[in-house]
Amino acid sequence: MQSDYLWTFAVRTSMVTFWLGILVLFLGSSHIMQLCRPNRSINIFSWPMLLDVSFLEQFERETGISINVSYYETNEELFSKLRTTRGAGYDLVIPSDYVVELMIKEGLLQKLDKSKITCWPDLDPKLLGLYCDPGNTYTVPYFWAVYGLGINKTYYNGKLPDASWALIFDKMKAPAAVGMLDAAREAVLLAAFFLFGSSDIAMTQVHIQAIKKLLLDQKAWVGAYTESNVEHLLLSKNCPVVVAMGPDILRIKRSNENIDFVVPKEGSFKVVDSLAIPAKSTKTDLVYQFINYLFRPEVIVHHRSKFGMCCPIKKLQTQQELLYCPDNEQFSKMKYFKTTIPETLLNEIWIQLMAQ
């Protein structure tokens, strides 16, 4: 009798264990499948105004590849984060030209397989072979822009003033308040360009002191140091002249014809933002799919229209772009914000300026 009871108990226990096992397997199957499935996602580190979220979602629907985007506000922030991780944590970054040079020197980027980039033959030749990556071994030029002056013409009775950096740096020609860049490198090199006609010269202490004096004097008529708030400064007329990139002014001009953009007659600076793959990314095949998607004509045209950046595909460039995106001859004469002054000295000048 007792043996029958034990046998029945064992059978029931086995059945309960069996069905519990089935239940656990069922409930955990999705998790197990997820662990076994390859991670089809890429992490992108980008400027805020370069990628339209709706078009990222379209790519996700087409490919099943998830896109995770985080944003940085300055090239220095991007460089600092990648240097800390030695390029780990991200699969695609979009640095400006001078930071590309620094990243390559520190081994933070990996070489491209150009055979996997379908748009390569269509890229604008003037964007290839730049000083920062002469063979485009590491970078694909994406969007670019030039610096100039945003102007509220109502301050000048509906007309444009003589386009000159003197509108920013010369008290006799500047309005009561101007908008100035809030980035040390750009501000210092713009001052050097205004004073010496070039930012590429070997800077001596005489040059440095002259730059410091100009920026310290200028502070008396700077209404704000900013790049993100130029729209308010212009439309409110608090600063009828601001230093800005063409795309920023183009977006404002769309809703207010009194706002315009000019490239100073002395010349200006250009910046090229490129796509690059961090050294430790292991998802290059997925990244190449995304790069090729970004360079589809309809995607390029949409991003150019939405954000105002200059187009990297020559056959897609328009006449309207020439107002904000100089032709080949003008482009060749423009400067880059190269590292001609040590970063420590740039920061020293900027800290002193902000402390005054």
Same domain, yes or no: 296 and 344? no
Q: How far apart are CA 162 and CA 30, in angstroms?
A: 67
- Is position 230 within any domain? yes
Taking a C-beta distance cutoff of 8 angstroms, is the pair 160, 320 a contact? no
Taking a C-beta distance cutoff of 8 angstroms, is the pair 180, 239 a contact? no
3-state secondary structure of 106: coil
Mean pLDDT of 196-220: 91
Instruction: Label residue 6 by pLDDT band (50, 70, 90).
Output: very low
Distance of CA 141 to the CA centre of its chain: 11
Taking a C-beta distance cutoff of 8 angstroms, is the pair 222, 180 a contact? yes
- Is position 181 within any domain? yes
- How would DSSP label each residue in 50-68? S--HHHHHHHHHHH--EEE
- Confidence (pLDDT) at 8: 52
- Total tally of structural domains belonging to the chain: 3
Q: Which of 81, 57, 80, 82 is nearest to 68 (CA)?
A: 57
Same domain, yes or no: 100 and 241? no
Q: Domain of 26?
A: 1-37
Same domain, yes or no: 296 and 173? no
Same domain, yes or no: 167 and 257? yes
pLDDT exceeds 80 at position 31: no
| pTM recorded for the entire structure | 0.84
Q: Which of 343, 257, 345 is nearest to 74 (CA)?
A: 343
Q: What angle do CA 83, 85, 86 make, to 5 degrees?
A: 60
Same domain, yes or no: 290 and 190? no
Instruction: Label residue 344 by pLDDT band (50, 70, 90).
Output: confident
Same domain, yes or no: 127 and 251? no
pLDDT in tens, 33-64: 333 445 689 999 999 888 999 999 999 999 99
- Is position 229 within any domain? yes
Same domain, yes or no: 124 and 238? no
Region of 60 on the Ramachandran plot (φ > 0 left; ψ -120 to 50 alpha; else beta): alpha
Same domain, yes or no: 262 and 177? yes
- How many residues are listed for the chain in this entry? 356
- Is position 328 within any domain? no
CATH code for position 151: 3.40.190.10
Mean pLDDT of 186-199: 92
Same domain, yes or no: 349 and 223? yes
Mean pLDDT of 120-129: 95
Q: What angle do CA 249, 251, 253 make, to 5 degrees?
A: 65
- Is position 331 within any domain? no
Q: How far apart are CA 347 and CA 351, in angstroms?
A: 6
* pLDDT mean across residues, the chain: 87
Q: How far apart are CA 336 and CA 339, in angstroms?
A: 9
Same domain, yes or no: 152 and 262? yes
pLDDT in tens, 227-276: 888 999 999 989 999 999 998 898 898 889 999 999 999 999 999 999 99
- Is position 24 within any domain? yes
- Confidence (pLDDT) at 150: 95
Q: How far is CA 333 from CA 50, 86, 270, 274, in A?
A: 26, 35, 10, 20
- Confidence (pLDDT) at 65: 96
Give me the percent of the chain exceeding a pLDDT of 70.
Answer: 88
Q: How far apart are CA 278 and CA 281, in angstroms?
A: 6
3-state secondary structure of 127: helix
Tell me which of 76-85, 137-146, 280-289, 293-302 is least confident.
Answer: 76-85
Q: How far apart are CA 237 and CA 157, in angstroms?
A: 13
Give me the percent of the chain exceeding a pLDDT of 90.
Answer: 64
Residue 349 tokens read as: 């000048």
Mean pLDDT of 101-110: 94
Same domain, yes or no: 2 and 150? no
- Is position 329 within any domain? no
Instruction: Label residue 14 by pLDDT band (50, 70, 90).
Output: low
pLDDT in tens, 128-158: 999 999 999 999 999 999 999 999 999 999 9
Q: How far apart are CA 252 and CA 351, in angstroms?
A: 31
Same domain, yes or no: 247 and 308? no
- Is position 326 within any domain? no
- Confidence (pLDDT) at 131: 94
Q: How far is CA 240 from CA 148, 188, 219, 220, 232, in A?
A: 14, 22, 16, 16, 10
